[in-house]
């Protein structure tokens, strides 16, 4: 492997680790936030969260990748003034887009809040809009570094941003609630914490930029932006961002329809807000359930891209087949396991079992969203960035239509059904396209019945452990934690034994997934101990 390939793989690994840390932190902070502010406070936070999430997608998955691709594609023989033109065009385009979105959100906040059915959301929306003033700069700096295969600044800035953000969200919310302020003020404080986190990430990038010497800085001085390049960067960034927004778009649909539809059915605003807060308990669980799929997706992209450059279709088929099968097993296990232990998990994290059935149904989308995410990564690795956007767009339409059709009939459960149907649509479209472009299904046996049987064994084992401990332990959050963890561990062991016995997924196959080669050494040691 040459030095450039090593840098690419090392950079991809750094970004994967950083993304994993960011995802875990993104899941963890919501639990103390809900415990501090209650169901209604959590509702306020989740109502405005999609606006932050969209900005985050622009700053991580969209604009930096678009800029880095343009810089790397033209790196051979590219003059310094041409690099400067690309970077100045990026600054111009991203700042213009950021200012437009800031003004729209800030000055239309009252109207947006009324569309959501709750005028009290105006201040949290205004606070969230500030993030669009920092995102353009974060995106450009990350794009510059990534364009020259320097992934460390991006990785460190993401982790720094998330640590500061989480600390500020928890700290600000605790301060405001403990000093008698209402949940809307606390929500605005949490949104401001996200802005502080973004500034921390920007500071890390600026420090790296100025430590890089005068060469990069000289590119920008005196360069003139190009409208053509600016439009190219904006359109490419938007396409890349949209494909990573599937859960965000589902939340956005719920933000505008959930409370309004409940109120149209005669539910008072206070009760509707509480029901939305309970419904949103599913979000950290869904994000946690899709973390592994996201990691596999990030790791698989450079491997598939490298195989495509070499025109190695067999390698592409194998990577796609193993990645899809691994994510299918993990996603199915997570969805089934969550359904079994949702009540103790709900009480452990959120102090009550309210909304457990709706969350269990939503858990099905862990499987389908995971399949969508990994297939999106594989398609993007082969250069097919438009197809996942089509899938997301179709899924958003299904979600909105599903809410409108099913919530008047079944309330929050209707929203759960709509999310599951929408995620099925997105995954199905992606997988059909991936199969037609790669033929991965012919290269890998999936053993659907065996996998389903293994998941059933896992679920039964987890249920028996949960039921047994329920009888002997007194009701408390600590007891619920013990029950949840014991059932999860027992179910996980049962799943591994069942899959191994059924010869579904050999550990030797897993090492073909990028960055999982360490499993090969673990398997070798395990076999040596048995012999």
SS (H, E, C) 73-134: HCCCCCCHHHHHHHHHHHHHHHHHHHHHHHHHHHHCHHHHHHHCCCHHHHHHHHHHHCHHHH
**Contact, 515 vs 16, CB < 8 A?**
yes
pLDDT confidence of 1, banded at 50, 70, 90?
A: very low
**Contact, 281 vs 251, CB < 8 A?**
no
**Residue 254, φ and ψ in degrees, nearest 5:** -65, -35
* Model confidence at 75: pLDDT above 80: no
d(CA 161, CA 156): 8
Measured in whole angstroms, how far is the alpha carbon of residue 530 from the centre of its chain? Answer: 39
pLDDT confidence of 80, banded at 50, 70, 90?
A: low
- Retrieve residue 161's tokens: 């941003």
- Classify residue 55 by burial, with Cβ atoms within 10 Å: 0-12, 13-18, 19+: buried
* Model confidence at 230: pLDDT above 90: no
Instruction: Work out the mean pLDDT of the chain and round it to a whole number.
Output: 84
pLDDT confidence of 214, banded at 50, 70, 90?
A: very low
Closest CA to 157 of 141, 136, 144, 169: 141
Overall average pLDDT of the 438-466 stretch:
85
Task: Summarize pLDDT for 465-519 with one digit per residue, the tens.
Answer: 999 998 888 778 888 889 989 999 999 899 888 888 887 766 555 555 444 555 5
Q: HEC string of 310-325?
A: CCCHHHHHHHHHHHHH
**Contact, 344 vs 484, CB < 8 A?**
yes
Q: Where is mean pLDDT largest: 197-201, 231-235, 292-296, 493-497?
A: 197-201
- Retrieve residue 335's tokens: 């969805």
**Residue 221, φ and ψ in degrees, nearest 5:** -65, 125
- Retrieve residue 462's tokens: 């987890």
* Model confidence at 152: pLDDT above 90: no
- Retrieve residue 139's tokens: 């995106």
H or E element in which residue 456 lies? helix 448-472
Domain boundaries, the chain: 34-242
Q: Which residues of 477-502 are buried (b: 16+ CB within 10 A; e: fewer)?
A: eebbeebbebbbebbeebbeebbeee
d(CA 70, CA 348): 47
Beta strands in 117-224 (DSSP E): none
Task: Summarize pLDDT for 257-307 with one digit per residue, the tens.
Answer: 999 999 999 999 999 999 999 999 998 888 888 877 777 766 666 677 777
Please spell the DSSP secondary structure of 352-383, one letter per residue: S-TTHHHHHHHTHHHHHHHHHHHHHHHHHHTT
Closest CA to 283 of 197, 365, 170: 365
**Contact, 186 vs 176, CB < 8 A?**
yes
Q: Using a pLDDT cut of 70, give the percent of the chain over it.
A: 86
- What's residue 216's pLDDT? 54
Which of 83-97, 143-157, 400-414 bottoms out in mean pLDDT, i.e. has the lowest?
143-157
Task: Summarize pLDDT for 113-128 with one digit per residue, the tens.
Answer: 999 999 999 999 999 9
pLDDT confidence of 5, banded at 50, 70, 90?
A: low
d(CA 166, CA 196): 10
Name the residue with tokens 């179910």. Answer: 491
pTM: 0.85
3 state DSSP class of 308: helix
* Cβ-proximal residues to 482 (8 Å cutoff; 6+ apart), any chain: 469, 473
- Retrieve residue 518's tokens: 């360490």
- What's residue 449's pLDDT? 86
d(CA 26, CA 286): 11
Closest CA to 275 of 416, 382, 401, 464: 416
Q: Which residues of 263-295 are buried (b: 16+ CB within 10 A; e: fewer)?
A: eeeebeeeebbbbbbbbbbbbbbbbbbbbbbbb
| Interior angle at CA 321, CA 317 and CA 324, nearest 5 | 140
Measured in whole angstroms, how far is the alpha carbon of residue 173 from the centre of its chain? Answer: 23
Task: Summarize pLDDT for 368-413 with one digit per residue, the tens.
Answer: 999 998 898 888 878 888 899 999 999 999 999 999 999 999 999 9
Name the residue with tokens 């033929």. Answer: 439
């Amino acid at each position: 492997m040459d030095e450039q390939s090593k840098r690419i793989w090392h950079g991809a690994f750094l970004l994967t680790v950083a993304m994993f840390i960011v995802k875990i932190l993104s899941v963890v902070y919501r639990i103390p936030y809900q415990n501090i502010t209650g169901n209604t406070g959590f509702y306020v936070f989740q109502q405005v969260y999609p606006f932050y999430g969209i900005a985050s997608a622009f700053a991580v998955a969209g604009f930096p990748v678009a800029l880095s691709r343009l810089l790397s594609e033209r790196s051979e023989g590219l003059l310094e003034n041409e690099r400067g033109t690309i970077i100045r065009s990026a600054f111009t385009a991203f700042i213009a887009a950021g200012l437009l979105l800031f003004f729209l959100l800030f000055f239309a906040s009252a109207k947006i809040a009324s569309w959501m059915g709750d005028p009290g959301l105006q201040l949290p929306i205004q606070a969230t809009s500030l993030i669009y003033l920092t995102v353009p700069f974060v995106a450009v700096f990350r794009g510059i570094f990534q364009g020259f295969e320097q992934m460390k600044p991006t990785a460190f800035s993401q982790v720094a941003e998330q640590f500061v953000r989480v600390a500020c969200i928890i700290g600000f919310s605790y301060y405001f609630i403990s000093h008698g302020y209402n949940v809307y003020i606390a929500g605005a404080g949490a949104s401001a914490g996200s802005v502080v986190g973004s500034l921390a990430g920007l500071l890390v990038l600026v420090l790296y930029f100025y430590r890089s010497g005068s060469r990069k800085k000289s590119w920008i001085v005196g360069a003139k932006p190009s409208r053509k390049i600016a439009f190219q960067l904006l359109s490419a960034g938007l396409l890349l961002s949209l494909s990573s927004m599937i859960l965000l778009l589902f939340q956005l649909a719920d933000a505008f329809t959930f409370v309004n539809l409940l109120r149209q059915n005669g539910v008072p605003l206070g009760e509707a807000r509480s029901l939305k807060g309970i419904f949103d308990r599913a979000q950290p669980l869904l994000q946690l359930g899709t973390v592994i799929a996201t990691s596999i997706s990030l790791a698989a992209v450079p491997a598939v891209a490298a195989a495509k450059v070499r025109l190695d279709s067999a390698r592409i088929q194998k990577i796609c087949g193993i990645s899809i099968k691994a994510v299918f097993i993990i996603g199915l296990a997570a969805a089934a396991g969550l359904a079994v232990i949702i009540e103790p998990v709900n009480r452990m994290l959120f102090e009550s079992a309210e909304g457990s059935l709706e969350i269990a149904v939503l858990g099905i989308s862990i499987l389908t969203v995971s399949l969508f995410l990994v297939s999106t990564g594989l398609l993007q690795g082969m250069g097919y960035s438009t197809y996942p956007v089509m899938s997301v767009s179709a899924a958003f339409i299904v979600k909105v239509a599903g809410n409108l059709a099913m919530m008047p009939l079944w309330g929050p459960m209707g929203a759960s059904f709509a999310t599951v149907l929408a995620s099925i649509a997105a995954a199905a479209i992606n997988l059909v396209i991936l199969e037609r472009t790669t033929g991965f299904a012919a290269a890998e046996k999936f053993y659907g019945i065996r996998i389903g049987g293994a998941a059933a064994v896992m679920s039964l084992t987890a249920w028996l452990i949960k039921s047994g401990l329920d009888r002997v332990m007194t009701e408390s959050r600590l007891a619920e934690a013990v029950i949840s963890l014991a059932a999860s561990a027992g179910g996980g062991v049962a799943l591994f034994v069942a899959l191994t016995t059924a010869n579904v997924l050999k550990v030797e196959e897993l090492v073909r997934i990028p960055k999982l080669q360490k499993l090969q050494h673990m398997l070798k040691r395990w076999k040596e101990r048995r012999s």
